[in-house]
Amino acid sequence: MTTSVASVEGMATLSTDLFYDILRRLDGPTLASAACACAAFSSISKEEMLWENVCSSMWPSTNRDDVKSLISSIGGFRKFYADCFPLIVNKEVSEYQWNNYREYPEEWTEAEYYGDTEEFESISPSDFVSIVDIRYKDKTICSKVLWGIPNANGFNGWFYNCPFRIDLLTYAARDDDDDGEVILSVSDGLPPIASMERERKDGKLWQELRDGLCLSWIVVNRKIKQAANLASWSPLGGQRHWPTDRDFVIRFGSILPARDILPCQVVECILSMKFRVIHTEGEGVQTTLKLTELSMQLEDMEGSHVNGRNSLLILKEALSCHRSKNYSEVLESCHLYSKVQTELKEEKMRNESRLDRLCILSGIAAFITFCYYVL
């Protein structure tokens, strides 16, 4: 008991500077846990500089002066971390019933298809900011910031009625100091490949990419002062050797709520990353990959692209939806969406098959009737 009391008294005599020096070495989850340990840690952990260090370590794009000003304007780095570290989990997927979904656009009312016009008028594409970081084996290989949504000028412009898509590499490069190229090579940890023929057989490069890549795509709305991470950190899927033999497409994303926006109630935010092999060992240089595409788009249950108007409403709604630090919950949400989507497609195919059979039987019956009366 004496030893315990002495330890507590010893803690009380330690200086605040020493506590601060201890806490500034911690990562975000550990710092949040330390804040619950004692009153001294709780008080010091409220220092913005501590959370700024955590954010800059986790998201190097937040080191930019303009991004720092943005984060300060929406509540500070502590709030930014609390909003963006947990990932979006949509538990409404399990409530989805395919038979309540009117799948064809002609069955939708204008309000259902275009969303709430009054609510939409309060949303401006220029309010959104994308903060993107890519890591490969814990090394940051790309940091991009995109202010606003490109080509979204004019209320009745093509953007609002055409499929929503953001090609980050195309528009963010003009705001960066570098030439925008993102290169991965053997020196970054890639396995050397002798030829594309060998890669098709063993898939070693493809596996290393899927295991090593991490993506963070944070969307901030400056007007409502909210932020959320729309990525899944780790890949959810992808395609190798597509569309050409040297291309690898890796898919990240999340499931976003669309209640009162679209009849399907939920949509998938698809974040695609494409790498192209530009050199192999057999060409006399080390294996080298180049990032050629980094994009965001939204798709409904049938795989149809969501238009720009509804996408802005969905993105705004996503900034205030449920999140979790449990990555297994995030994966469960994505897998559940894929399961329901597959069931919907299978049911649609069965209905179309029934309709085809009905048409064939009707044709045969009509032919027999015709022959009966003619003969």
- DSSP labels for 127-151? GEEEEEEEEETTEEEEEEEEES-TT
pLDDT of residue 105: 46
Q: What is the pTM of this model?
A: 0.83
Q: What sign for the dihedral angle of Cα 90, 311, 300, 135?
A: negative
Please, how many CA atoms are within 13 Å of residue 284, restricted to the half-sphere of its CB? 0
pLDDT in tens, 323-369: 988 888 888 888 888 888 788 777 888 888 888 888 888 888 888 88
Local confidence band at 38 (pLDDT 50, 70, 90 cut-offs) = confident
pLDDT surpasses 50 at 5: no
**pLDDT tens digits for 190-224?**
988 888 888 888 889 999 999 999 999 999 999 99
Angle between helices 77-84 and 65-73 (to 10 degrees): 90
The sign of the dihedral angle between the CA atoms of 53, 55, 60, 65 is negative
Q: How confident is the model at residue 166 (pLDDT cuts 50, 70, 90)?
A: very high
Contact 214, 135 (CB under 8 A): yes
The answer to whether residues 288 and 146 touch, using CB atoms and an 8 Å cutoff, is no
CA 50 to chain centre: 26
What pLDDT shows up at residue 23?
84
Q: What is the pLDDT of residues 108-148, one digit of tens each?
A: 454 554 544 555 567 889 899 999 999 999 899 999 999 99
Strand partners, 241: none
Question: What pLDDT sits at residue 13?
Answer: 54
Give the position of tokens 């201890």. Answer: 22
Given a cut of 80, whether residue 180 has pLDDT beyond it is no
Binning pLDDT at 50, 70 and 90, where does residue 32 land? confident
Spatial CA neighbour of 219 closest among 72, 87, 58? 87
As a whole number, mean pLDDT of residues 296-309 equals 90
Mean of pLDDT over the chain = 83
pLDDT of residue 196: 87
Report residue 183: phi and psi, to 5°. Answer: -120, 135
Query: What pLDDT does residue 259 have?
Result: 84
Q: What is the pLDDT of residue 106?
A: 47
> Does 291 score more than 80 pLDDT?
yes
Please calculate the CA angle 38-41-42 and round it to the nearest 5 degrees. 80
Q: If you average pLDDT over residues 55-62, what whole number do you get?
A: 94
DSSP 297: E
